Amino acid sequence: MAKLNYIDLFSGAGGLSEGFIRTGFNPIVHVEMDEAACYSLKTRTAYHYLKQKKRLDTYVSYLKDEIKRPDLYSQIPSELLDSVINLPIGADNNDKIHRLINNHLDDQEVDLIIGGPPCQAYSVVGRARDENGMKGDPRNYLYVQYAKYLEKYLPKLFVFENVTGLKSAKGGLYLANMEKLFFKKGYKIHVFTIEANNFGVLQNRKRIIIVGWRDDFVPNLPDLEAIRVQDDSKVKSLFRDLPKIAAGGGKDKYLTYRGDTNPYLEKTSIRNGINILTQHIARPHSEQDKKIYRIAVDKWNQKKERLDYNDLPERLKTHNNRTSFFDRFKVVAQDLPYSQTVVAHISKDGHYYIHPDIGQNRSITIREAARLQSFPDDYYFEGVKEGINRTPAFRQIGNAVPPLMAQKIASMVKDCMA
């Protein structure tokens, strides 16, 4: 069977796409407006190309900081790097994006479109944090742009990922309007509510997946809500082989592992043969924050109780908001089968992701966050400039679809397209 071609819209750092590539799909282009995420996509494109050509030593040299990013990219065909399109999807750019896509398509068909618009507009937390409740935000209507790409390329199926808040946003009106618009373009849809932990991801991450299919294509639609990957692993499986570091410590490139791998890391391919650890870098923290972290970790480890911000000593309370977000300081529980949801706010501070080892007394690193999202250790998250780029890396990870979940979805989609 020939590889099925897909276009990835609103790609982010490529978590959803990674799952489809692993399953044998062929990416035509990735379209993403964030420049840093586009560098991550290019670096991952370089990885897949070099792996296919049995030249991973070049990629390893990059992870070990022996060569720089331009040196790595110079080894990759320009048409592959150019397949990452760094433009915002919308009326101002769609014609240009279409021309670029058509250049890469070379008269091939598009079998599938994947991706989901930025989710802040539909997120319950996003609406709560925004002073206007996201009213008037143009991101509310990016699904209209998505529909234009369906109309243009007529894929057999599409896979649209977003937050569960899409169901409740504006009383469910956005979702109802989506369904009407997609139907008008010739597509029927089914909305699945899924939990990442059911796919083997060690994270509590509930999302919706909309699978749409063209009128003239009748798929044997998979039941994504029925998936239950049997696994007894705990979150500590993700952390215990990593070097112990203090707040502000760690390395961006080439840091060795502290311990041996374990069954969870092996079967999920998080440690997938390249025995090099990167981006295990911890934020620096103020002494006050570290005092709060100690209290939060002790409370959880000793009593399995979460810290309520209002229970802190007055000298440690600096936030004016005492009536909401009481759990703004939260420990990643290593003895549970899942962590709290990793979201983009991790790029602003690490208070909601405190490492469970009180001896390290810090929030989690880029690599630990990536592992919670099931990204393999050889996945490198870039910034616009080379070097340590904690903020864009955390943002990309928080916004991503877990590759392990994406891979299972891709496998089931592939089966129904056969």
Q: Can you tell me whether residue 160 is helix, strand or coil?
A: strand
The active-site residue, picked from 38, 89, 97, 119, is 119
The two tokens of residue 298 are 């002790």
Two tokens, residue 227: 């998936």
Q: Which of 266, 283, 272, 415 is nearest to 360 (CA)?
A: 283
Q: Is 119 a catalytic residue?
A: yes
- What's the token pair of residue 391? 């903020």
Separation of alpha carbons 344 and 341, rounded Å: 10
- 16 near 35, Cβ under 8 Å? no
Phi, psi of 35 (to 5 degrees): -65, -40
Phi/psi for 373 (5° steps) reads -90, 0
What's the number of CA atoms in the CB half-sphere (13 Å) around residue 221?
Answer: 20
Q: How many CB atoms lie within 10 A of CB 215?
A: 10
Q: Which of helix, strand or coil describes residue 267?
A: helix
Q: How far apart, in Å, are the Cα atoms of 135 and each of 3, 130, 175, 207, 418? A: 42, 9, 16, 22, 42
**Residue in this structure with the two tokens 């939260």, named with its chain if needed:** 330
Token pair 């009180």 in the structure block, residue: 358
Cα of first residue to Cα of last residue in the chain, in angstroms, is 8
- Pairwise CA distance, residues 4 & 410, whole Å: 11
Tell me which DSSP letter residue 175 carries.
H
Instruction: Report the DSSP pairing between strands 157-163 and 5-9.
Output: unpaired
SS3 of 68-137: CHHHHHCCCCHHHHCCEECCCCCCCCHHHHHHHHHHHHCCCCCCEEECCCCCCCCCHHHHHHCCCCCCCC
What region, left, alpha or beta, does residue 350 occupy, with left being phi > 0 and alpha being psi -120 to 50 degrees?
Answer: alpha
Residues marked active site are found at: 119
